[in-house]
Chain A
Amino acid sequence: MNADLQKALQKFYGYDNFRTGQEEILESVLKNRHTLGVLPTGTGKSICYQLPAFMRSGQVIVVSPLLSLMEDQVKQLRARGFKRVAALNSFLDYEDKQQIMRKLQNYDLLYVSPEMLQNDYLINRLQSLHIQLFVVDEAHCISQWGQEFRTDYLRLAEVIRNLGNPPVLALTGTATPEVQVDIQHLLGDLDMDKHIYPMDRENISYFIREVQDQQEKNETMLALLRKIQAPTIIYFSSRNMAESTAAIIRANMPDMPCAYYHGGMENEDRILIQQQFLSGQLQIICCTSAFGMGVDKEDVRLIIHYHLPSDKESFIQEVGRAGRDGEESVSVVLYSPGDWQIPIHLIEQDLPEQDSIQQMLRFLYQRVKAGQLELPSYELLIQHIPISETQWRFLLYQMEKHDIVKGNHLHYKANAWKDFLDQIEKFVGNRKRHKLKQLQRMKEWVYTDSCRRQALFADFQSEVRPAKGRCCDNCGDTLADWQSVLTNVQPEHTGWREQLYHLLQQ
């Protein structure tokens, strides 16, 4: 083991050993090589760029689409005493943004959202720094074959060039070989050292319980929770269902502390719930996909999917939050035949309808005719055309690519606009078909008769390792003999006097 790296790991994190892949990726990064790292969720990707930021001079820039993850990491780093870190994203108000941008040299580690990199002033300021490493986190977002395509990511190649080609580290937890090729190509055909690690987890077993209706789903869920009695995350695709099911669990299992978590809650409440789960005050979290990123809890034993996500990558990531301590853990999908309507609906919502694209073009055309060449703001647009902000950003990027928008202005040429309409409709059609195909694969996995472990990971890696304990229901395993080890539930303090004493006097 590289002695310097290990010393740094001990010094900054207090760990004695690296987890799989971290050291190899770090060595490549420290040699200033362009690097692609595919590391399964939960192996601590962030160490791969945080350590260089601590160890070497020069700035590390991290592009991440996950704003809340950014905020979490900055908070955690600050809590550990590492103050030279900041996040630039849309959560900040204008003043704070300006203040950070003016003093970029004060930060060794800077998290940036992809849309912030469209800001010329920021690029300008970045050019004056010595950037030791440019990190593309969640790099699969650059590929339209990845689970979540971000048009903003397509501009990263240009950003990297503008910054004078610093060493690049692309990181992702999920990437099929197809997506890996895309990443390399779309970041500017970089010559990258590849470090690909298997995503399968030997200590997680997979079960599917088919039920007929919601009542049966709830009963099955409750029976499971009684059986396993350990830290559990239950995923839902709707906030309301997460809330109402949490109430059902509390009513039926008063001894198992349970709460819900979703993106619609106040920030302060979200912090509290997360921390309660980490500290063991809560055993069960009913949540949407908003929960989990940046929550590094080692002993989650059970992941229940009350609803399935719309692709296998998301599923693998969510399940990957179990058993980070290496102990045997379980994934259970509760599935009823009607469930597929929800993800189909979500896919439809994600991409603009043909109608809205046409409406938008008509609206823009009228502005051009009236001599208003300036690009309308989203706030103005939304008063006329029903599209989401994501859809608008997507269309904006496409219009720039087709030279309909240059800078902040519209350029009208009849042919170009007509071509654009044809192509964009085709493109949106392809995206929808792709997403439905992903959903279809998820569905096939549910219905498969063969080993679930093999079927889940075969797309991502050439060889799937055998399970350490139970494998899956199709391999004949059951949870009947599961021995629940009760985690130490914190002593309940009776009354406020004792509790206040405990907080401040013990």
Chain B
Amino acid sequence: MLLASIIIHAAQPIRQERSAASIYHLLQGKRSAQTLQDAHMYGLTHLFGIYPKLSRQVFDKLAANIMQEEGQDIKKNMPYFNGMAYQSQTEPFLYRLLLLVQLLSNQTKGENRYIPVTDNPAIQHWIKQLYRQEQHRLDDWRNGVYEELYGLLEELPQIQAELFVDRLTGYHHIGLTTVQLAEKYHVHDTDVLLYQTSTIHHLLQHAETDTAAFPHLAALMDRPQHKIRSITSTAQKTRTMLERGMSVEQIALVRGLTENTIKDHIVEITWLDGEALSSKFISDTDAAVILECAMQAGTNKLKQIHALLEGKYDYFQIRLALALRKEQEVKA
């Protein structure tokens, strides 16, 4: 049983000094200073929060024996986990992926009537937004998700790939529940969930570190927190439209805003995202010229820079360049 092995594994370093309950809190992902400290101190960060729904009863029953005896640690065959990095994203990512696969599979058959696999309004909303932005290239998404999943599942043990794919719902094919999966593959209910978490962590890890190779899965991840929090939703809308290839003029027209407002959005986004967006409006060399000028004059005043450069660059470009400098400083 995988859960038992994980508890044994966690118990090795922790047993002498901490109670069994500390392992429970660790697996369950309790956000307390003590649990976080345990995770770091005993080198168990990868197990943090890998099983939020773990029942205390189930745990206590298993742990009672384990904490007393020296168990066999099966570290070698332990599935991949990176709880500390991914525990908060695991569930949203899983359900986005499940709903997206359902959407893509049905959509390609022209089927619009199906009951979504999750009732969670936040997930449904998220996928709806994605659909709105991407509806003209759903075939790319379908092929992309297929190839990325195929490649990454290949790297996993057979059982994990089987459990994962059998969970998926699509056109005229409904995924299995946890209990059904446990029955079909002769594993314990708890282990179905643990393997699933491991699979998701595996997907997340590759999507995060190699976004270029797994762009579709990466798009299902949460953007880093600070970006989401600090970009206003109106600027976010502008970003989405720019990414779809619309010009500043077009966006202003469609949204009934002035071009200057749209440019404000672009500057706002550049402060947070760097050159991802600004490169369309200012080249590296131009930005370097402006920054050089600003540095020599020891000023951030737009009017002054504008005058020193003899009106060669407009205020928008100067603001972009300054926003980029902020980016470079943070990097350094």
Contact with B along A262-293 (1 / 0, CB 8 A): 00000111011111100101000000000000
User: Which residues of A have CB within 8 Å of B149?
Assistant: 500
- State in angstroms the CA–CA spacing of A22 and B105 once bound together: 35
A271 touches B115 (CB 8 A): yes
The 8 Å CB contact of A496, one of B115, B162, B183, is B162
B145 within 8 A of A: yes
User: Which residues of B have CB within 8 Å of A274?
Assistant: 115
The 8 Å CB contact of B183, one of A250, A268, A490, A502, is A250
B119 within 8 A of A: yes
A272 touches B175 (CB 8 A): yes
Q: A79-B114, A281-B174, A504-B170 are in contact. Are A271 and B119 (CB under 8 A)?
A: yes
- State in angstroms the CA–CA spacing of A206 and B165 once bound together: 42
User: Which residues of A have CB within 8 Å of B117?
Assistant: 268, 271-272
Q: A81-B112, A504-B146 are in contact. Are A269 and B153 (CB under 8 A)?
A: no
- State in angstroms the CA–CA spacing of A497 and B151 once bound together: 10
B237 within 8 A of A: no
A500 touches B150 (CB 8 A): yes
A496 touches B112 (CB 8 A): no
B166 within 8 A of A: yes
**Distance between B61 CB and nearest chain A CB, rounded to angstroms:** 20
User: Which residues of A have CB within 8 Å of B142?
Assistant: 504-505
B45 within 8 A of A: no
A259 within 8 A of B: yes
The 8 Å CB contact of B115, one of A275, A497, A500, A502, is A275
A345 within 8 A of B: no
User: Which residues of A have CB within 8 Å of B150?
Assistant: 497, 500
A268 touches B113 (CB 8 A): no
Q: Which B residues between 153 and 170 are near A, CB-CB below 8 angstroms?
A: 153, 158, 161-162, 164-166, 168-170
A76 within 8 A of B: yes
A502 touches B173 (CB 8 A): yes
A75 within 8 A of B: yes
Cβ-Cβ contact count across A and B, 8 Å cutoff = 84
- State in angstroms the CA–CA spacing of A496 and B184 once bound together: 13
B161 touches A496 (CB 8 A): yes
A495 within 8 A of B: yes
User: Which residues of A have CB within 8 Å of B164?
Assistant: 496
**Distance between A219 CB and nearest chain B CB, rounded to angstroms:** 23
**Distance between A97 CB and nearest chain B CB, rounded to angstroms:** 13
- State in angstroms the CA–CA spacing of A250 and B183 once bound together: 10
B170 touches A279 (CB 8 A): no
**Distance between A484 CB and nearest chain B CB, rounded to angstroms:** 23
User: Which residues of B have CB within 8 Å of A281?
Assistant: 173-174
**Distance between A98 CB and nearest chain B CB, rounded to angstroms:** 15
Q: A79-B113, A500-B149 are in contact. Are A267 and B165 (CB under 8 A)?
A: no
User: Which residues of A have CB within 8 Å of B169?
Assistant: 272, 275
How many positions in chain A have a CB within 8 Å of any CB in the partner chain? 29
- State in angstroms the CA–CA spacing of A80 and B111 once bound together: 10
A279 touches B177 (CB 8 A): no
- State in angstroms the CA–CA spacing of A259 and B178 once bound together: 12
B166 touches A499 (CB 8 A): yes
- State in angstroms the CA–CA spacing of A476 and B112 once bound together: 48
- State in angstroms the CA–CA spacing of A360 and B127 once bound together: 50
- State in angstroms the CA–CA spacing of A505 and B139 once bound together: 10
B176 within 8 A of A: yes
A259 touches B180 (CB 8 A): yes
B76 within 8 A of A: no
Q: Which residue of A lies closest to B145 (CB)?
A: A504
**Distance between A80 CB and nearest chain B CB, rounded to angstroms:** 6
B172 within 8 A of A: yes
A503 within 8 A of B: yes
Q: A81-B112, A250-B183, A268-B117 are in contact. Are A503 and B170 (CB under 8 A)?
A: yes
- State in angstroms the CA–CA spacing of A497 and B158 once bound together: 10
B101 within 8 A of A: yes
User: Which residues of B have CB within 8 Å of A259?
Assistant: 177, 179-180
Q: Which residue of B lies closest to A260 (CB)?
A: B179
- State in angstroms the CA–CA spacing of A497 and B149 once bound together: 10
**Distance between A249 CB and nearest chain B CB, rounded to angstroms:** 12
Task: List 21 A-B pairs, Cβ < 8 Å.
Answer: A79-B113, A79-B114, A79-B116, A81-B112, A268-B118, A268-B119, A271-B119, A272-B117, A272-B174, A272-B175, A275-B115, A490-B173, A495-B162, A496-B158, A500-B150, A500-B168, A501-B146, A502-B170, A503-B170, A504-B104, A504-B108
Which 5 residue pairs are nearest across A and B when measured between Cβ atoms? A496-B165, A503-B170, A504-B146, A269-B177, A275-B174
